[in-house]
């Protein structure tokens, strides 16, 4: 089985890693062989195990969306984890407006993004014209709602109150489930 995807030129080096370390580790963990055309920005994964190959593609997509290899590799640790990408390009044609939207999600010194990550147990990358989220389906849904609220211009305090409420509901659901 062969899968090919395009990645941004500035992410090729990150995917390869120092001395090819990231590429090699990904090949080992997914039982694939990876070839990268840095001029074209294309990455080809070949392997016999379809689920592992598709997981490898997800890791490459996560790296392409700004995640460090270490953070992207968590997709290999738990088969229930997903990668979700929110495209910001349709929201504005102004680069300044796009910077403002990204800034709202990231927050001062990255604190807003960190807070959303902490409260949803997701990994979030704001990169280029996208926001990428790695997490369990229910967590992604909540993180995505929080990002949408910020993009709509709601105050950060309101978004964090929403996240706190969702976190309490999830805890209560877990307690109800086990008792």
89-103 pLDDT, tens digit each: 988 888 999 999 999
CB atoms near residue 89 (< 10 Å):
10
88 alpha-carbon distance from chain centroid: 14
Q: What is the mean pLDDT of the chain?
A: 94
Task: Give the CATH architecture of domain 2-76.
Answer: 2-Layer Sandwich (3.30)
Residue 177 is predicted with a pLDDT of 72
The Cα 137–Cα 118 span in angstroms is 16
pLDDT value of residue 18: 96
Q: How far apart are CA 179 and CA 175, in angstroms?
A: 6
- 111-120 helix and 137-151 helix, angle to the nearest 10 degrees: 150
Q: What one-character-per-residue DSSP string does 22-46 give?
A: HHHHHHHHHTEEEEEETTTTEEEEE
Contact 130, 91 (CB under 8 A): no
Compute CA distances 12 → 53, 59, 63, 94, 131, whole Å. 19, 13, 9, 27, 19
Q: Which residue has the higher pLDDT, 38 or 105?
A: 105
Fold match, 2-76 / 82-178: yes
Residues 21, 26: Cα–Cα separation, whole Å: 9
- pLDDT-derived band at 173, boundaries 50, 70, 90: confident
Sign of CA dihedral 16, 43, 85, 56: negative
Q: Where along the chain do its domains lie? A: 2-76, 82-178
Whether the pLDDT of residue 128 is over 90: the answer is yes
- What is the per-residue pLDDT across 48-92, written as a single tens digit (0 to 9) for each? 999 999 999 999 999 999 999 999 999 999 999 999 999 999 888
Find out if CATH 3.30.1370.10 is the number for domain 82-178.
yes
Q: pTM of the full predicted structure? A: 0.91
The predicted structure's pLDDT at residue 20: 95
């Amino acid at each position: 089985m062969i899968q090919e995807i395009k990645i941004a030129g500035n992410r090729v080096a990150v995917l390869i890693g120092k001395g090819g370390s990231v590429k090699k580790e990904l090949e080992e963990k997914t039982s694939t062989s990876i070839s990268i055309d840095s001029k074209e920005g294309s990455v080809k994964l070949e392997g016999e195990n379809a689920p592992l190959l598709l997981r490898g593609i997800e890791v490459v997509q996560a790296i392409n969306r700004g995640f460090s290899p270490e953070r992207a590799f968590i997709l290999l640790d738990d088969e229930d984890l997903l990668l979700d990408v929110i495209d910001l390009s349709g929201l504005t044609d102004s680069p300044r407006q796009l910077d403002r939207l990204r800034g709202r999600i990231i927050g001062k010194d990255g604190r807003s993004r960190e807070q959303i990550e902490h409260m949803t147990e997701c990994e979030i990358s704001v990169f280029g014209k996208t926001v990428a989220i790695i997490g369990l389906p229910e967590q992604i849904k909540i993180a995505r709602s929080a990002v949408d609220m910020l993009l709509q211009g709601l105050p950060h305090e309101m978004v964090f109150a929403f996240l706190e409420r969702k976190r309490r509901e999830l805890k209560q659901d877990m307690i109800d489930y086990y008792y």
